[in-house]
């Protein structure tokens, strides 16, 4: 048995309505869309940055849209989070069921007693082909769950997986394969769900909410009814109309949604070329509803042209995508990681003045002895200027000099500036630091801190 003791959510700040993506789309139905300098790495960091990390001994990263090849996203994120070196770090990249694949394996590993706390992260960012935004499921987002052997309010009591040889759609040698739906959905989805459901739930009446995450969920009503379930037990997917289908993160986000709604006995079924099942018992809703907070805070992209600009910058699989080689030194980044990545500053032992970058002597009292301190990620803009030369989708870039709360001064770019009137940062503005790509299409992974409004 494992327990979900903490969770994190990261949804992009920007949404676009289906009616903007296509004249036939519905107004009010939205997709969550990453900004030009966001990807699964930055979203994963945002979702996990506030999760307690002291005793994490494993990290699983699930995605169907990896940014790296021959490099583990789990290891990379573990380094960003400053977790202990050498912990178990695994990637799950088979498809949209990867999120619950990782959750199931984390549960099994903890159940054996060999691991105590495993962080599961599911993240997907994909842009459909132009003109197919309504027919191809997409939406950007990340869900992170910290599983533990400690006692808690939310326990995973059962976790099982049932494989299926037949897949309704998949990619083979770069070709998208789709079998005849009249055959494949019976032989694949219906057959697998019918078989597996008979072997998973002993008493359907005890379930408060049934979550079925599948593109074919509407076909399953009769199957569940035969096993004793009632229509009133099914949880409605209210997320797809608000943020789209978030791929490998979607099943986990649906679970969080029901937990925040106070459901206590949940059956989660996640189907893609097989079904993962979980029975989850909770004693009450979380005090802080992180998903609901992010669902209610967003800016709308109001033109298809702006969406295409974001897609061009963010869709690294597009034929129009071209990279730019900017100066970056892996050796310097590794050597100065404590300062550049973990925001460790230097405090003068004589007068207490705090510096972001180390100085030979304190500029205030001339002392040459410093101790290391953790800097804050919030502050006030001291001054700023616009940079017209640096490559960007929405120039110019505002460069901000920020006095961090508690001490230290840092210079960073402003981000999320597609609509300047909604992101009007001036001298004296309160801001916070977020991890983003340094430039949208750098040839190397080059993540650093940028600033957004904190007012």
Position 332 scores a pLDDT of 81
pLDDT tens for 43-57 read 999 999 999 988 999
**Calpha distance 108→276 (Å, rounded):** 13
Cis check: omega of the bond before 396, within 30 degrees of 0? yes
CB 30 within 8 A of CB 18: yes
- Once rounded to an integer, what is the mean pLDDT over residues 190-205? 91
First-to-last CA distance in the chain? 42
Cis amide bond preceding 415, omega within 30: no
**Topology adopted by domain 330-453:** OB fold (Dihydrolipoamide Acetyltransferase, E2P) (2.40.50)
The mean pLDDT value for 69-75 works out to 96
Residue 395, pLDDT score: 83
Torsion, Cα 179 181 186 187, to 10 degrees, reads: 0
- pLDDT in the model for residue 238: 96
pLDDT tens readout for residues 405-420: 999 999 999 999 888 7
pLDDT, residue 8, reads: 97
Q: Is the pLDDT of residue 315 over 70?
A: no
Tokens 């500029």 found at: 363
Whether the Cβ atoms of residue 322 and residue 38 lie closer than 8 Å to each other:
no
7-16: average pLDDT: 96
Looking at the predicted structure, is the pLDDT value of residue 318 above 70? no
Residue 399 in tokens = 């460069």
- CATH placement of domain 2-314: 3.40.47.10
Please give the residue that has the higher pLDDT: either 250 or 169. 250
Percentage of the chain with pLDDT > 90? 77
Tell whether the model's pLDDT for residue 174 goes beyond 90: no
Average pLDDT over residues 20-31: 94
pLDDT category at 329 given cuts 50, 70, 90 is confident
Per-residue pLDDT averaged across 309-334, rounded? 72
What is the C-alpha separation between 99 and 247, in angstroms, rounded?
A: 8
Between 264 and 311, residue with greater pLDDT: 264
Would you place residue 65 in the very low, low, confident or very high pLDDT band (cuts 50, 70, 90)? very high
Model confidence at 207: pLDDT above 70? yes
Provide the pLDDT for residue 418.
84
Check residue 327 and give its pLDDT: 67
The stretch 319-331 carries a mean pLDDT of 70
CA 361 to chain centre: 42
Q: How does the average pLDDT of the chain come out, rounded?
A: 92
Domains of the chain by residue range:
2-314, 330-453
Q: What is the pLDDT of residue 422?
A: 74
Decide if 15 contacts 32 (C-beta within 8 A). yes
Can you give the pLDDT at residue 242? Answer: 97
Q: pLDDT tens for residues 146-156?
A: 999 999 899 99
């Amino acid at each position: 048995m494992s327990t979900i003791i903490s969770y994190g959510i990261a949804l992009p700040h920007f949404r676009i309505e289906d009616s903007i993506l296509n004249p036939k789309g519905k107004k009010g139905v939205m997709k969550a869309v990453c900004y030009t300098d966001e990807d699964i790495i930055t979203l994963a960091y945002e979702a996990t940055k506030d999760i307690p990390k002291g005793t994490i001994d494993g990290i699983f990263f699930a995605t169907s849209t990896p940014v790296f090849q021959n490099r583990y996203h789990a290891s990379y994120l573990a380094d960003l989070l400053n977790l202990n070196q050498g912990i178990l770090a695994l990637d799950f990249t088979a498809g949209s069921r990867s999120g619950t694949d990782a959750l199931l394996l984390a549960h099994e590993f903890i159940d054996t007693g060999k691991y105590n706390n495993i962080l599961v992260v599911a993240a997907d960012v994909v842009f459909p082909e132009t003109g197919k935004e309504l027919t191809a499921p997409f939406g950007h987002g990340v869900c992170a769950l910290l599983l533990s052997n400690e006692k808690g309010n939310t326990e995973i009591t059962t976790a099982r997986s049932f494989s299926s040889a037949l897949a309704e759609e998949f990619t083979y040698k770069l070709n998208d394969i789709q079998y005849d739906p009249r055959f494949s959905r019976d032989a694949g989805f219906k057959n697998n769900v019918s078989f597996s459901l008979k072997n998973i739930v002993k008493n359907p009446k005890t379930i408060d909410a049934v979550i079925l995450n599948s593109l074919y969920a509407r076909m399953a009503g009769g199957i569940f009814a035969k096993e004793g379930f009632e229509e009133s037990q099914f949880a409605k997917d209210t997320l797809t109309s608000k943020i789209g289908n978030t791929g490998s993160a979607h099943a986990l986000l649906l679970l969080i949604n029901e937990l925040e709604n106070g459901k206590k006995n949940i059956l989660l079924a996640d189907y893609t070329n097989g079904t993962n099942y979980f029975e989850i018992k909770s004693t009450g809703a979380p005090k802080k509803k992180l998903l609901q907070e992010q669902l209610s805070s967003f800016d709308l992209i109001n033109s298809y042209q702006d969406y295409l600009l974001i897609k061009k910058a963010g869709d690294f699989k597009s034929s129009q995508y071209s990279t730019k080689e900017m100066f970056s030194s892996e050796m310097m980044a590794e050597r100065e990681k404590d300062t550049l990545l973990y925001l460790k500053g230097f405090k003068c032992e004589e007068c207490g003045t705090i510096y972001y970058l180390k100085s030979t002597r304190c500029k205030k009292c001339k002392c040459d002895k410093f101790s290391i301190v953790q800097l804050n990620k919030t502050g006030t803009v001291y001054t700023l200027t616009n940079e017209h030369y640096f490559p960007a989708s929405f120039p110019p870039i505002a460069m901000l000099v920020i006095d961090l709360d508690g001490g230290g001064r840092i210079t960073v770019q402003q981000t999320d500036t597609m609509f300047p009137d909604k992101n009007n940062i001036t001298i004296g503005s309160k801001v916070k630091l977020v991890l983003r790509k340094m430039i949208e299409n750098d040839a190397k992974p080059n993540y650093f801190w940028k600033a957004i409004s904190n007012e």
